[in-house]
Amino acid sequence: MSTNRTCNNSFCTREEDKIFENILAIYFNDNNLLTKMEEALPGKTVDEIKDHYNILLEDIDAVDFGGAPLPNYPEMQSNANQNTNADGQWRKGTLWTEEEHRLVSWYSF
């Protein structure tokens, strides 16, 4: 496994962070999410997993409430034959809906 860290703490390598994200996406509504993460991330303590999850929630809040700058993506050209919403501009600058935020942050360890 790579030792290239993508986190601000010693929790994860790039590979471990990807495993964390995948398990969260797949088992988000599962009552055994924490157990699934423990199984997928051997050597990580329950507290480390909880801390990493809470950091993720803080990052989401920072993005949602303007605490983190949005990336400067190049403008996309739209085709006249495509739906105007298909050019990706329809959500530019739009915060998550309350439902989207609830779905991500409802599960607290």
Where do the structural domains in the chain lie, given as residue ranges?
1-69+94-109
Residue numbers of the chain with a pLDDT score lower than 50: 1-6, 8, 86-87
In this predicted structure, what is the pLDDT of residue 108?
A: 54
Angle of helix 33-40 versus helix 14-26 axis, rounded to 10: 150
In this predicted structure, what is the pLDDT of residue 3?
A: 42
In this predicted structure, what is the pLDDT of residue 10?
A: 58
How far is the C-alpha of 27 from the C-alpha of 18, rounded, in Å? 14
Query: What global pTM score does this model have?
Result: 0.54
In this predicted structure, what is the pLDDT of residue 19?
A: 92
* Inter-residue contact 109 to 50 (CB < 8 Å): yes
